[in-house]
A and B are shown apart, each in its own frame.
Chain A
């Protein structure tokens, strides 16, 4: 039964990595566009 834990952990890792990547992209792009619209950075 122990091998089932492998699938469980894999599922939680996939979900955590997927959601963290998406949230990270969302935050980075928001910050970048805010800066761009304020005129703090070049394109």
Chain B
């Protein structure tokens, strides 16, 4: 990706997010039930969508790394990059969700299935990121992390279906729910879709930047290893008499 293209994407992300903020905070109307608190959903919904997308990309990249025919360092780095972005967005989802819960439910937090499984998701991927930092060969680390990513991903469908499988305070899906007749104001629907699209664009940009950084980190690691080997060879050449 050239510098100009990268800059262009960055500027598009900033503009798209600014439009999201304007629609979410000013243009879209207040909800008949939730009042102004509905404005938090234009953040909450896209951030959890990005978290799911990020963890899906991590799982897919991990599978591609595990299959010998498609194995490449890029898949391992992409898995790590996407997981890190996913953790950031899951953290924001949890905080924004709590801030929405206080005026709507009267509490910041309840240990219901949706909230608890989302918190578990956050900690599972924090553990995954910690695992990526453990020292070993690239091959060993890649294998260990790919398996961990697939185990952690098992929580994503649990989070999604938790509202169907258990009685929860968190409501089930609304906008795309066929069982209920949904009526949503045009500008509310637009704001929601626009925010999901702009955050998706932001995710693409962040993963690209994080992947570049991961490649630089790999380069630095290799260079440090080369320096260490050269120094050792030099030290061995100076044989004591």
Contact = CB atoms under 8 A, between A and B. Distances in A.
Interface of A: 1, 3-5, 7-8, 10-12, 14-15, 18-19, 22-23, 26-27, 29-30, 33-34, 36-37
29 contacts: A1-B35, A4-B37, A5-B36, A7-B99, A7-B103, A8-B25, A8-B37, A8-B39, A8-B99, A11-B40, A11-B99, A12-B21, A12-B43, A14-B95, A14-B96, A15-B43, A18-B88, A19-B92, A22-B88, A22-B206, A23-B206, A26-B213, A30-B209, A33-B213, A34-B216, A36-B220, A37-B219, A37-B220, A37-B223
Interface of B: 21, 24-25, 35-37, 39-40, 43-44, 47, 88, 91-92, 95-96, 99-100, 102-103, 202, 206, 209-210, 212-213, 216-217, 219-220, 223
Given A1-B35, A18-B92, A11 B43 contact: yes
A36 B210 CA distance: 17
A18 B202 CA distance: 14
Given A12-B25, A26-B206, A7 B212 contact: no
